[in-house]
Structure 1
Amino acid sequence: MINNQLISIALFAGAFGLDLGIEEAGFYTVSVVEIDADATKTIVLNRPYLSESAVPRDIRQVSAQILLEEGGRVLKLGRPLLPGEVDLITGGPPCQPFSTAGKRGSVIDPRGSLFMDFIRIVQEIQPRFFLMENVKGLLSSPIRHRPHNKRGAGYPPLEADEMEGAALQAVLTEMKAIGYKVAPSLVEAADYGVPQTRARVIFIGSQKSEIISLPKPTHDRNGLKGVPIWLTLRDALVNLSDPKPEYVPYSKQRLKYISLLKEGQNWKHLPDELKPEAMGGAYKSGGGKVGFYRRLSWDKPSPTVTASPHQKATDMCHPVELRPLSIREYARIQTFPDNWVFYGSVASRYKQIGNSVPVKLAYAIGKHLYKLIKDEKLQSTNYEQISFFEFEQFKNLIELKQGKDKVSEQFHEMLAYALKNEVDFTPKKARSLASYFADITDFLEAKEENIKNLKSISGKNVLKLTDEEIIKLSLYKKSGFLSAELTVAENYLAVISRVFTQKQLDMVRSLSLKHLNPNPFLIRALNLDTPDEVVRLNVYMAATRSIVTSMGFFIEDLLVTSSDTVEKAPKKSGWDLVKTSGDGEKSWLQIKSGPNNMDKDQVVYWAEKIQDKVKEGDKAYIGFTYGKRTTRTVTIGLLKQILPDWEMQTLIGKELWNFLSEDPDYSSKLFEVLRKSAHQVLHQNSLSEEIDSCATRVTDEFIQEFGDGVQGVSNYINSIF
């Protein structure tokens, strides 16, 4: 910090998107490094004061001292900047080796790439923070890629550097080696007001001991959590003045097919006889191919902006016009201001924009860091992190696809739910405590003395537990209820199941005669002549009412926790659940308990709703939580008659659970979790045995108050009627 001004240096600056957001957050960029000639001219056109450093140059030939000298001249210090005076270094080393949109090379070792020049400069300049951005593909990239036809039986096991996630581990190791604490996170740009779904990996490195979490999202996919819904393409382009849009026109051959499509459609909506011709060799290839002949939808966020909107596999066709998005439309989606000038050919400008970090995303992160440096109060996705977390405990912040759980919102929700319902913490205290742990192992292994008085990185007590709460927490950790051998989803299922079973058990054990209030008309109509007959029937009726009332919520919770891609649908939609795939495709579900729970009017209504969703380009299903497709029921008969392609638009029993979880063995795992959870609560008993025990106890209560036999029943009736 110089004269109360926060200083930043931009590496791999591109068209300045990341650094423009950082600048708007309060930082001042004093030097840039970028090799692309057009991108450097873009920077100079918009920031003339950077003309000395904004020249095409290879970072491998740039020393830290040169950058410090350039910064000193921009600030007119009369001397170079000194190591430690720079507050932030930003950059996104070239992402192509890790990108899931292209072919990965056979060797992807970040330690032999430009990434190491980023590390070199950070180490020599010693900024307070560094911010590095990269593509999602980095999370699962090996260092050496072994062809799939050389894996499995007859081949040696994968070596460490051939495992998915090996490249990420190498990156984290190098960052740690230069003395920085690192908090990597997978972020969705749409959560920060960007009208585009764009998942990126963000690394925030801190020179001090704290772990820096991301700022709270400003938007939400469904407008929940007290923030607005994601912005759409319509929001992005509203009031855009672009009278002569610049774009690369489609060929006549491409227009032949695109002209047949409506807003929100892609090649899948072409007539069946044209699909092979339109797709060529890609027709029989794997993958969803959702980018082929894609017309955008006004009322959804834009898909991820790439280096070109007119390539066959990454079409970004205007919703109603027969052209790709224009340069200015592209820039709007990346949240560049309208007065930002891009230099170069149309193709070059597309590339500069597509490779940028969205300005609004950069601003949100930059403002977060600005407030931290200025010692202002942070609003973060997590509560303040406690100091005993070490670097290694944050490795799993990113899903490595190696069978390990990612530390996610689902984990914190699960632990908070468990602490509230199984340890009897208040909701606020449960959420606060859960936020301090990176994963289940962290929670189970944390020492009581560290948990009792949790401190923030500033040393402030932020959560104080009583001795009684510490004892309950210690017993819970030792109970075996949570297991590091299970996934987060499996633990969540187990907690939900135990809570459900425990509530039913508590209800049965709390029943007394005054709760039952047996109906005298029913007693006489059913010829119930003894206290045992009266009480037993009413105990079973009370238990059944409670179970049936709770069962719907229980099943819904099980469905939602089956996968982190499943969530409750917005109430106004009328649907129960929505599942969103990795490429953004939505599947809407109306859930029924069994395959005989719909009458004709309901089937007609949902058949129309399904067709509406299909027309919008989504998928939609009626799901039954149990049953089989071969079962003969009235509902299945109606579905066959009324619902077009009923077999493709219904999910019955195992089909539903396996579809939601994307695990063909999920239903088997689910029942095993339910069985074990019930055993943990009921031990060797069943709820039926508990009900019998309750009936015996309440019968004794009845006899004590009203007498035994027929006379006792008559005495009871006379007392209330």
Structure 2
Amino acid sequence: MILKYLDLFAGIGGFRQALINSSLKNVKFEPIGYCEIEKKCQLVYNEIFGTDGEVIVDDVKKIFSPDMVNVDGSKKLPEFDLLLGGFPCQPFSNVGYRKGLEDPRGELFFEIVRILRHYKPSFFILENVSKISSVSSGDALKTIISELEEAGYNVHLWDLYADHYGLPQKRRRLFFCGVLREYSIGNELLLEPQPIPREEWKYPTTWHLLEKEMNPRHLIPTKTRETVLRPNPKWMGNLQIDRPIARPITASMSKWHRANQDNYFSATYVSPNNPNPYISPIVDMEKEPIRRITPLEGFRIQGFPDIYAEICEVHKISFSATYKMIGNAVPVNLATSVIDHFLANYLK
């Protein structure tokens, strides 16, 4: 069967890449268009997927504008069966001011509801940060669920970690999976997807995705180095970190890792053949040159193919813009697990 989909707040196409990776053999996913406001993201998205003939909108608020209506009165945006979208997370993230739905970017969520009410796709899958559950003492999440339900959908909420679904990073995301009530199978409670065994991962640990050759331009300056290495009491509660989610930053990347993530800290020697994930710190961080992860490694950590890094380099997209793209993207492997598990319950 053919399932037509619309990709909102598409970024560089994390959800679309997840559909390409889908294991649902009886479904052919067919894009009708996408919406993305960042020009550099559009450039990457168009080159990766080849979007000729698709409806491309830069601002979700324009979907119902007069420009989206043909001369004969028909809509330029055709009907579709599945809506996908990682709506702006900054209003709900610790990194932002957490104004939630009061933030202009948070208000974009209501444009999603408007589209759902008008087009009535059979399914939707939305993604955001898990911190959305605590914004405004939980009222923001209640409002979001209520609006989606009032639009005619049964909503399933899954709070998931990327390191359970094939990616060596501890990234936590909240997924809203909705099905029109007329397609629902009763008052079902769908369990979350089963974790993927590590032996099935493409990159079982961060060590496996590292570039073996490192360009000197990725070395960080002395001042930044001092900031990175400065002790932080938040990280002293637990002096161990799971090797698979360590964030590597030293220049001899295939051997040395240091991680500052989720209130953990470690400086460890890492060997892919060493079965012990916890090893005493033995690296001299005062002498080792330090670098950031490369764009290629960043794309791999998020589950994207290497071609993304090649395209960014060919088009001379800056490191800062590239890292922003990577950081804003939905983890591909995680999205694939959600899509396959959710839709498999209805597309039989």
In 2: Cα distance, 1:339 partner to 1:369 partner: 28
- 1:372 pairs, out of 321, 333, 345, with 345
Q: Residue 175 of structure 1 aligns with which residue?
A: 148
- 1:33 pairs, out of 22, 25, 35, with 35
Q: Residue 549 of structure 1 aligns with which residue?
A: none
Report the alpha carbon displacement of residue 27 of structure 1 after superposing the two structures with TM. Answer: 2.2
Report the alpha carbon displacement of residue 95 of structure 1 after superposing the two structures with TM. Answer: 0.8
Change (3 A) 1:231 1:67: farther
- 1:252-331 pair list within 5 angstroms: 252-256=222-226, 258=228, 267-268=231-232, 288=234, 299-302=243-246, 322-331=290-299
In 2: Cα distance, 1:79 partner to 1:244 partner: 50
- 1:1-400 pair list within 5 angstroms: 4-25=1-22, 26-50=28-52, 53-54=55-56, 57-63=58-64, 83=79, 86-105=80-99, 108=102, 113-142=107-136, 164-208=137-181, 209-210=184-185, 211=188, 213-219=190-196, 227-228=197-198, 235-238=205-208, 241=211, 243=213, 245=215, 249-256=219-226, 258=228, 267-268=231-232, 288=234, 299-302=243-246, 322-340=290-308, 341-342=311-312, 344-375=317-348
Report the alpha carbon displacement of residue 339 of structure 1 after superposing the two structures with TM. Answer: 2.0
CA contact (8 A) 1:87 1:127 kept: yes
CA contact (8 A) 2:69 2:75 kept: no
Deviations 1:115-168 (A, max 9, x none): 0111111221211100110111110101xxxxxxxxxxxxxxxxxxxxx00011
Deviations 1:152-201 (A, max 9, x none): xxxxxxxxxxxx00011111111111111111121112111121111111
Give identity over the alignment, percent: 27
- One-letter code of the match for 2:83? I
Q: Which has the higher helix share?
A: 1
CA contact (8 A) 1:44 1:54 kept: no
Change (3 A) 1:359 1:52: same
Change (3 A) 1:7 1:369: farther
Secondary structure at 1:174's aligned position in 2? helix
Q: Which moved more, 1:167-176 or 1:246-255?
A: 246-255
Q: Residue 274 of structure 2 aligns with which residue?
A: none
In 1: Cα distance, 2:142 partner to 2:199 partner: 34
Q: Which moved more, 1:315-324 or 1:93-102?
A: 315-324
In 2: Cα distance, 1:20 partner to 1:68 partner: 29
Change (3 A) 1:54 1:38: farther
Report the alpha carbon displacement of residue 333 of structure 1 after superposing the two structures with TM. Answer: 0.6
- One-letter code of the match for 2:9? F
Secondary structure at 2:307's aligned position in 1? coil
- One-letter code of the match for 2:333? K
- Specify every segment of 5 or more residues in structure 2 that has no aligned partner in the other structure, as ranges: 23-27, 248-259, 269-287
- One-letter code of the match for 2:19? I
- 1:392-541 pair list within 5 angstroms: none
Secondary structure at 1:104's aligned position in 2? coil
- One-letter code of the match for 1:346? F
Q: Which has the higher strand share?
A: 2
- One-letter code of the match for 1:129? F
In 1: Cα distance, 2:5 partner to 2:101 partner: 33
CA contact (8 A) 2:177 2:342 kept: no
CA contact (8 A) 2:11 2:325 kept: yes
Secondary structure at 1:44's aligned position in 2? helix
Change (3 A) 1:11 1:369: same
CA contact (8 A) 1:43 1:50 kept: no
- One-letter code of the match for 2:64? S
Task: Tell me how large the CA RMSD over aligned residues is.
Answer: 3.9
CA contact (8 A) 1:189 1:199 kept: yes
Report the alpha carbon displacement of residue 360 of structure 1 after superposing the two structures with TM. Answer: 0.4
- Specify every segment of 5 or more residues in structure 1 that has no aligned partner in the other structure, as ranges: 70-77, 143-163, 220-226, 269-282, 291-295, 304-311, 376-721
- One-letter code of the match for 1:213? L
Report the alpha carbon displacement of residue 357 of structure 1 after superposing the two structures with TM. Answer: 0.7
Report the alpha carbon displacement of residue 213 of structure 1 after superposing the two structures with TM. Answer: 2.4
Secondary structure at 1:165's aligned position in 2? helix
CA contact (8 A) 1:110 1:170 kept: no
CA contact (8 A) 1:237 1:329 kept: no
With normalisation by structure 1, the TM-score equals 0.37
CA contact (8 A) 1:44 1:51 kept: no
Change (3 A) 1:245 1:214: farther
Change (3 A) 1:40 1:80: closer
In 1: Cα distance, 2:55 partner to 2:30 partner: 14
Secondary structure at 2:205's aligned position in 1? helix
- 1:708-719 pair list within 5 angstroms: none
Report the alpha carbon displacement of residue 369 of structure 1 after superposing the two structures with TM. Answer: 3.7
CA contact (8 A) 1:231 1:301 kept: no
In 1: Cα distance, 2:48 partner to 2:125 partner: 22
In 1: Cα distance, 2:106 partner to 2:328 partner: 22
Report the alpha carbon displacement of residue 5 of structure 1 after superposing the two structures with TM. Answer: 1.9
CA contact (8 A) 2:19 2:336 kept: yes
In 1: Cα distance, 2:321 partner to 2:105 partner: 29
Deviations 1:46-73 (A, max 9, x none): 1122575446x1111223998898xxxx
CA contact (8 A) 1:234 1:298 kept: no
Change (3 A) 1:81 1:167: closer
With normalisation by structure 2, the TM-score equals 0.72
Change (3 A) 1:106 1:58: closer
Deviations 1:376-408 (A, max 9, x none): xxxxxxxxxxxxxxxxxxxxxxxxxxxxxxxxx
Change (3 A) 1:35 1:302: farther
- One-letter code of the match for 2:340? K
In 2: Cα distance, 1:31 partner to 1:318 partner: 45
Report the alpha carbon displacement of residue 298 of structure 1 after superposing the two structures with TM. Answer: 8.2
Q: Residue 553 of structure 1 aligns with which residue?
A: none
Answer 1 or 2: higher relative contact order, Cα 8 Å, separation at least 6: 2
In 1: Cα distance, 2:226 partner to 2:218 partner: 16
